[in-house]
Amino acid sequence: MKHIVKGCEPPSFQSWKKKNPRADWDHFSGTETYKELRQYLINEQVMLCCYCEIALKENSDAHIEHFKPKSKYPAERFNYNNLFASCKYNDSCGTKRLSEYFTGLISPLDEKCQSRFTYTGNGMIIPFDENDEYAQRTIKLLALNCKRLRLQRESIIKILDNEEITSDYLEQSLINCVDWYNGFFTVIRYVADKRGTA
C-alpha cells in the first residue's frame, strides 16, 4: 500500500457540495463533477489503486472509494479525506470489501502504511511485523492476496530480482511503474530494498 499525500479538494467538488447541501451520494455519482473528482483522485494517487497499487490508466478503471463506508458513516460521505480511487476488480480492494470496516484498518493516508507490509518471493503480501494484527486483517479484508494480484506481483519480483537488472533500472522502474509494470510501486521498492539498491 503506497502512502497517499492528499492535496486540496478540487474547486468543482467544493462548488457542487455548496450548491447541493442535502444531496446524497447516489445523486452525486451520476454527475460530471463525480467523473472529474474520480480523475482528480486517480491523478493524486499517481495513477495507482489506493489499496493494491494496480495501474488506473483510464477514468473507467476506478470507482470512488469511501475509506469509512458511507452507509455506516454518513457524515463522511463527502469528506474529501475519506475519498480515494480504487480499482473495480471484484476479487479485491474496495469492491471486495463492500461496506466492511474496522477501527485499525490501515489507511493509505497513514505515513507509515508502506512500512507495515512486505512481500515474499512468490508475490504474497504479508505484515512486516508478523504480530501486526491490523496489517493482517487489512490484507484479508481487501483480499490483497487474491490469486490475480499474487501472480502479478510474483511476475514482477521474478523479472526484477535478477542480477542483470541494475540499480538505475530499478529506480527508473519506480518512476515508470504504471507504464512498465502496470503499477505495483511498493513491490518494485521491495525488490530494490532487498537488493540494497534503493
Tell me the three state secondary structure of residue 54.
strand
pLDDT in the model for residue 88: 94
Query: Look-up: residue for cell 445523486?
Result: 27
Which residues contact residue 102 at a Cβ distance below 8 angstroms, ignoring those fewer than 6 apart? 137, 141
Written as one letter, the residue type at 16 is W
pLDDT in the model for residue 196: 78
Which residues contact residue 173 at a Cβ distance below 8 angstroms, ignoring those fewer than 6 apart? 160, 180, 181, 188
pLDDT digits (tens, 9 = 90+) for 53-83: 999 987 678 999 999 999 999 999 999 999 9
Tell which phi-psi region holds residue 3, choosing left (phi > 0), alpha (psi between -120 and 50) or beta.
beta
Grid cell, residue 13, equals: 467538488
Which residues contact residue 154 at a Cβ distance below 8 angstroms, ignoring those fewer than 6 apart? 121, 122, 123
Confidence band, pLDDT 50/70/90 cuts, at residue 197: low
**Element spanning 85, H or E:** strand 83-87
pLDDT in the model for residue 154: 97
Tell me the three state secondary structure of residue 119.
strand
pLDDT digits (tens, 9 = 90+) for 173-196: 999 999 999 999 999 999 999 887
